[in-house]
């Protein structure tokens, strides 16, 4: 779907407005329809508030219809190809389109248990989670009561909508839906930033091979030209950064052991707040390093 | 072979002495025979010096026979079961009895190339090396000239003999053939040693799964009751220590993220000096850690 | 007073025993007299327990006489030379014999206020405190009620007695009255202990010049041949360690700035537990360092 | 002297141009006069190049006159009030107007020795040095030969001119004459920036009291709102940053010792490159800290 500016939206009649934003909430163009009345919007956040207010103000019936309009995770809709395009992209971002048979069975079992207990599909903003985190959410939320789960479903629907809206609409403000993962390599042997260090970022699951997300190299400031992750939530998951420290010092005029004490330096950490900034630097000599969650 | 004390050796006649030490040098009881003349030995190091002096003082012919008495690495002798017991143990310690087909082929190719170039078997003290380090040694030494390689073969034979002698003979001194790998976990969140931290030590190859060497847990001092490696050379190889930091802080009354920023903390490093002390500690909070080669 | 062994004490009659230990508790030979009945003592700790039990079991009158037998801190007895030798040494160890006029006035004022409120001298085991810590104790304890203060006085008398007893008697066990301050310099530029580093230890007060306690130099292990403080409580106080890092790296073949980024590295810290082990190392390159309370 | 834009300068006739820039080089309006011919200047750096080229292209006589037009450091001109305003400000910035009698005598002696050897005043860009660094420069340069010293004098004159020019002229580019000193406090006990930490910056001489340069407090990012030093060279000198870590953790809900292990944390370092960026952060828990020269 093409991007649209907030100014354009503010000038649209209801039909055009619903055509532009009718799919922000899954199968629920009535949300955009209701929000249209609140024009003009001074900011993207104001537009978002108007849309969520429309959902909150709708009756129980409409809310349940909205909830029930969402597909099962990794479920029948996916296999039968009846999901909306947005839903498809969202589910594939978390690797839900690459499940093993065991994982597929786990999702199937949890979907059924959830539906049986709550009479609605399990909804989660999958862009905020890795595969393992979704399963953990699933198991936790199965233990909730119905009222808590209904609130949880709406919270997740709002998160899904916020991400779609932020991508769809250009405005001078942004919704607070993005996190950032960055790094920095400082060479305290020479007292300067370490440039030319190769960095690989993996997502690490409790079983199976690490999944390579990106590969980059440090610039003259010891940083990467672009953040490792930006313009999206950082999925709640375990990660591993691998720094090519051995090769870096081999290129400097530094006497090291053979093989060098430090070759590939792995830093493994978990992200728990998808919208936060995680700065994970490494301060390194041929014989030592330290890391921390910076900001 | 049973242990013997230096005192007992000093009182033995030549026959008994050769029976006790005749196999320290492979298929070369004449080394013990010659060393017997230098009794009594004030120290184990003096005995070792006498044996290596006997080899150094022997003619070219005897030295070549000594060299040629050694089996090929991962070679025919191994498959046919004609190796001495010591050689078998030594080769299995480096994992040479668990080679993949590709690795076996590499050894076979290198053995042949080496024999063709130098007319003798490739000799290396395998207890000082991991599998990959042996292959690297092999390739490097293939580039040497004959005189250099003959010196190298004797150096390795002396190392093999030193390890065997140190295990065989009890004395008030030791040969300097052992390294030590130790660790320590310090909790700078609470300002005290971290006790109860699980630690796993792996050998890591450039391909294939890490190989678990040992699993232990820190005591009240944040140390392990026994060194991770001791009473042997530390094979030249890459290692990974994995510290169960997430579980440790979960047991303390510490507010952390969910999942915690640090779960399993891996420290990957290489050993280049098998007879040295490597102290690889970790100084850790829920949000940071540092490590270094200490002593 | 000469040292005596536990064995000798166990064989003494009461007169000799009281001659040997009668002054462990100030002006109170009756404590030793009572403890004599509990011979033989299997350990120094058992002897100490017997003496403190004798004090605890004495009536109020005797306890008050014991308490009142102690001199004022920095008080009249000191100026008139009527203190016991032990008391003199103890008070000088905390610098109470080198008070400024203002400090002397503060002690005088606090002594009078304390005596007026509690009808007894303020007692504190001065070997466990720096001058500022004693003043802080003084002010805090002035706020207590009489019963609390009487317990506090006995606790301090027991600490004074324990230190005297531990110095007087040789046994196979020791009383737990000593702390230890140690350090270590690790060079992570070269990956080895830093030897030849000059270290100065100062006591630092909130005003006035730092007071040099000792000067030493690191050995081949990057440690000092003897702990910086040992065989005594570490007085509760602020300290500063100054490491001659600039000169150390100037002696290595290390390219540094002119002047070097790090010259004298000061580490300032406070001791709160006089009987604990404080290990305060520094891990250093020409461009970075870290320190922590180790163990 | 009022600021002027590069555009304005480019449009000036020679008389106005010399009025605006005639004092950039001490008592040498002929430099501006010569540079005027090279108008228009595309950048401030181009203007600076034109002025230094004019000096380099002048004959020996003019250069020596330029050099001799500079006052002695802390010398007679200062006492008699005949220095230019710029020179006065420059000399006071290094504390040369606050010399002790001994320091004044040292400058007097060095000035005389220098004049006697080289027949010209000792010239140094004092804004780039602390008092001790100037004396060290003085002593080193006294050992040079005449040709080296004449080059050194011109280099320093160019540095003085660059600083004056950069302050006088507004352009879209800047001369590379400024350094920056910044810091950052990261709390790895809580995993977040440390806000509200008081920071004091001192200049530290080998004797005498540290001289307080500024006092500030960290903001929500653990940084200071403004760099500690910016928009000027950082004088070559020793500095000490003092961080109020004890008070910071006392305000958090953190169990610490009494007194806390860390109270005021001093970081002492030297600046050797006045035009560089020195980032000197501290990463801290109640029991540990680390620092490094970052960027």
Mean pLDDT computed over every residue of chain B = 92
**Structure-derived torsion over alpha carbons of residues D24, D25, D27, D30, reported in degrees to the nearest 10:** -100
Q: Model confidence at B172, in pLDDT bands (50, 70, 90)?
A: very high
Q: Select the more confidently predicted residue: B74 or D171.
A: D171
Distance from CA of D288 to the nearest CA of A (A): 13
Torsion angles phi and psi, residue C98, rounded to 5: -125, 40
**CA distances, A191 to each of C245, C257, C262, D101 (Å):** 15, 10, 11, 39
* pLDDT surpassing 80 at residue B179: yes
Q: Is D172 on the interface with A (CB under 8 A)?
A: no
Are B292 and A293 inside 8 Å of each other by CB? no
* pLDDT surpassing 90 at residue A86: no
Q: Model confidence at C295, in pLDDT bands (50, 70, 90)?
A: confident
* pLDDT surpassing 60 at residue C135: yes
**Which residues from D are below 8 Å from B261, CB to CB?**
191
Distance from CA of B285 to the nearest CA of C (A): 12
Q: Model confidence at C75, in pLDDT bands (50, 70, 90)?
A: low
- The reported pLDDT for the residue numbered C38 is 95
Across C40-57, average pLDDT: 97
- The reported pLDDT for the residue numbered D99 is 77
- Pair C165, C21: CB distance under 8 Å: yes
Strand C229-232 versus strand C179-182 pairing type: antiparallel
**Which residues from A are below 8 Å from D222, CB to CB?**
295
Angle at A222 (CA atoms; ends A218, A226), nearest 5 degrees: 55
A-interface mutation test, from D191, D223, D291, D294, most A Cβ less than 10 A away: D294
**Residue C121, both tokens:** 């001298």
- The reported pLDDT for the residue numbered A90 is 73
Distance from CA of D286 to the nearest CA of C (A): 9
Euclidean distance between CA atoms A28 and D95, whole angstroms: 73
Q: What percent of chain A has pLDDT over 70?
A: 97
Distance from CA of C188 to the nearest CA of B (A): 7
Nearest chain C residue to A256, by CA: C190
**Which residues from B are below 8 Å from C186, CB to CB?**
292, 294-295
- The reported pLDDT for the residue numbered D129 is 95
A259 cis-preceded (ω within 30 degrees of 0): yes
Across C191-199, average pLDDT: 97
Chains that touch C (3 or more CB pairs under 8 A): A, B, D
Chains that touch D (3 or more CB pairs under 8 A): A, B, C
Are C192 and B221 inside 8 Å of each other by CB? no
**Residue C249, both tokens:** 């790296």
Nearest chain B residue to A136, by CA: B259
Q: pLDDT tens digits for B99-142?
A: 778 888 888 899 999 999 999 999 999 999 998 899 999 999 99
User: B237: closest CA among B263, B192, B269?
Assistant: B269
**CA distances, A233 to each of A72, A295, B65, D257 (Å):** 22, 16, 70, 40
- The reported pLDDT for the residue numbered D97 is 73
Q: pLDDT tens digits for A233-291?
A: 999 999 999 999 999 999 998 888 999 999 999 999 999 999 999 999 999 999 999 99
Euclidean distance between CA atoms D66 and D74, whole angstroms: 19
- The reported pLDDT for the residue numbered A82 is 72
pLDDT tens track, chain D, 295 positions? 689 999 999 999 999 999 999 999 989 999 999 999 999 999 999 999 999 999 999 989 999 999 999 988 876 556 666 777 777 777 777 777 777 788 888 888 999 999 999 999 999 999 999 988 999 999 999 999 999 999 999 999 999 999 999 999 999 999 999 999 999 999 999 999 999 999 999 999 887 789 999 999 999 999 999 999 999 999 999 999 999 999 999 999 888 899 999 999 999 999 999 999 999 999 999 999 999 999 7
- The reported pLDDT for the residue numbered A80 is 64
Task: Kindly report the pTM of this predicted structure.
Answer: 0.92
Across A6-17, average pLDDT: 97
Euclidean distance between CA atoms C265 and D295, whole angstroms: 20
Euclidean distance between CA atoms C127 and C110, whole angstroms: 19
Nearest CB neighbour to A287, from listed C191, C261, C290:
C191
User: C3: closest CA among C114, C132, C169?
Assistant: C169
Q: Model confidence at C92, in pLDDT bands (50, 70, 90)?
A: confident
**Which residues from A are below 8 Å from C257, CB to CB?**
191
C-interface mutation test, from D268, D280, D282, D289, most C Cβ less than 10 A away: D268
Euclidean distance between CA atoms B86 and D24, whole angstroms: 84
- The reported pLDDT for the residue numbered B273 is 96
* pLDDT surpassing 60 at residue A77: no
A-interface mutation test, from B247, B292, B294, B295, most A Cβ less than 10 A away: B292
**Which residues from C are below 8 Å from A191, CB to CB?**
257, 261, 285-288
Are B192 and C294 inside 8 Å of each other by CB? no
Q: Is B292 on the interface with C (CB under 8 A)?
A: yes
Distance from CA of D129 to the nearest CA of A (A): 22
Nearest chain A residue to C257, by CA: A191
Residue D168 three-state SS: helix
Nearest CB neighbour to A286, from listed C191, C283, C288:
C191
Nearest CB neighbour to A261, from listed C191, C286, C287:
C191
Strand A4-5 versus strand A169-170 pairing type: parallel
Number of H helices, E strands in chain A: 11, 13
**A residues 234..273 contacting C (CB < 8 A):** 257, 261
Distance from CA of B65 to the nearest CA of D (A): 59
* pLDDT surpassing 60 at residue B81: yes
Are C186 and B292 inside 8 Å of each other by CB? yes
Q: Is A195 on the interface with B (CB under 8 A)?
A: no
Nearest CB neighbour to D289, from listed C259, C261, C291:
C291
- The reported pLDDT for the residue numbered A81 is 67
Mean pLDDT computed over every residue of chain A = 92
Reduce the secondary structure of A172-186 to three states and give it as a string: CCCCCCCEEEECCEE
C-interface mutation test, from D270, D274, D280, most C Cβ less than 10 A away: D270
- The reported pLDDT for the residue numbered A1 is 67
Nearest chain D residue to B256, by CA: D190
Q: Which residues contact C175 (CB under 8 A, 6 or more apart)?
A: C44, C45, C48, C162, C163, C165, C166
- The reported pLDDT for the residue numbered B76 is 59
Q: pLDDT tens digits for A20-62?
A: 999 999 899 999 999 999 999 999 999 999 999 999 999 899 9
- The reported pLDDT for the residue numbered B252 is 93
**Which residues from A are below 8 Å from C261, CB to CB?**
191
- The reported pLDDT for the residue numbered A255 is 80
Are A191 and C286 inside 8 Å of each other by CB? yes
- Pair A203, A237: CB distance under 8 Å: yes
**Residue D193, both tokens:** 């920036």
Are C283 and B292 inside 8 Å of each other by CB? yes
Q: Model confidence at A105, in pLDDT bands (50, 70, 90)?
A: confident
* pLDDT surpassing 90 at residue B216: yes
- The reported pLDDT for the residue numbered A256 is 80
Euclidean distance between CA atoms A150 and A155, whole angstroms: 9
H helices of chain A, in order, are 6-11, 14-21, 29-36, 44-57, 60-68, 76-80, 85-93, 101-118, 131-142, 146-168, 245-251
Number of H helices, E strands in chain D: 11, 13
B-interface mutation test, from D245, D256, D286, D287, most B Cβ less than 10 A away: D287
Distance from CA of A191 to the nearest CA of C (A): 5
**Residue C271, both tokens:** 């001791």
Are C283 and A288 inside 8 Å of each other by CB? yes
Residue B219 three-state SS: coil
**Residue D55, both tokens:** 């000096």
Q: Is D190 on the interface with B (CB under 8 A)?
A: yes
**Which residues from D are below 8 Å from C272, CB to CB?**
257-261
- The reported pLDDT for the residue numbered B2 is 80
Residue C80 three-state SS: helix
- The reported pLDDT for the residue numbered A101 is 81
Number of CB pairs, chain A paired with chain D, less than 8 A apart = 25
Nearest chain B residue to D290, by CA: B290
Euclidean distance between CA atoms D97 and D90, whole angstroms: 10
Distance from CA of D294 to the nearest CA of A (A): 7
Q: Is B188 on the interface with A (CB under 8 A)?
A: no
Q: Select the more confidently predicted residue: A75 or A294.
A: A294
H or E stretch including B243? strand B237-244
Q: Is C292 on the interface with A (CB under 8 A)?
A: no
Euclidean distance between CA atoms A117 and A119, whole angstroms: 6
Are D221 and A295 inside 8 Å of each other by CB? yes
**Residue C174, both tokens:** 């020791």
Distance from CA of A14 to the nearest CA of D (A): 43
Q: Is A193 on the interface with D (CB under 8 A)?
A: yes
Q: pLDDT tens digits for A154-170?
A: 999 999 999 999 999 99
Are C295 and B222 inside 8 Å of each other by CB? yes
- The reported pLDDT for the residue numbered A78 is 60
Q: pLDDT tens digits for A126-158?
A: 999 998 899 999 999 999 999 999 999 999 999
Q: pLDDT tens digits for B261-285?
A: 999 999 999 999 999 999 999 999 9
């Amino acid at each position: 779907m093409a991007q649209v500016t907030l100014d354009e939206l503010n000038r649209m009649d209801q039909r055009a407005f619903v055509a532009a934003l009718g799919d922000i909430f899954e199968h629920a163009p009535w949300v955009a329809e209701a929000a249209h009345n609140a024009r003009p919007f001074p900011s993207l956040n104001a537009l978002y508030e108007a849309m969520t207010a429309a959902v909150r103000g709708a009756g129980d019936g409409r809310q349940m219809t909205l909830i029930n309009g969402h597909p099962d995770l990794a479920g029948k809709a996916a296999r039968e190809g009846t999901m909306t395009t947005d839903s498809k992209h969202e589910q594939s971002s978390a690797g839900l389109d690459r499940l093993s048979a065991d994982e597929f069975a786990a999702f199937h079992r949890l979907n059924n248990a959830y539906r049986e207990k709550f009479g609605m599909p399990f909804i989660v903003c999958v862009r905020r989670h890795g595969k393992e985190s979704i399963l953990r959410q699933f198991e936790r939320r199965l233990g909730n009561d119905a009222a808590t789960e209904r609130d949880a479903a709406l919270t997740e629907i709002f998160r899904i909508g916020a991400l779609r809206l932020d991508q769809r609409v250009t405005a001078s403000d942004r919704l607070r839906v993005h996190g950032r993962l960055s790094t920095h390599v400082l060479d305290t042997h020479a007292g300067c930033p370490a440039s030319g260090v190769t960095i690989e970022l993996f997502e690490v699951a409790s079983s199976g091979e690490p999944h390579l997300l990106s590969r980059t190299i440090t610039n003259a400031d010891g940083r990467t030209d672009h953040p490792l992750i930006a313009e999206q939530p950082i999925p709640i998951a375990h990660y591993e950064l691998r720094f090519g420290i051995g090769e870096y010092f081999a290129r400097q005029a530094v006497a090291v052991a053979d093989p060098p004490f430090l070759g590939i330096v792995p830093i493994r950490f978990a992200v728990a707040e998808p919208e936060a900034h995680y700065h994970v630097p490494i301060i390194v000599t041929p014989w030592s390093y330290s890391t921390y969650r910076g900001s």
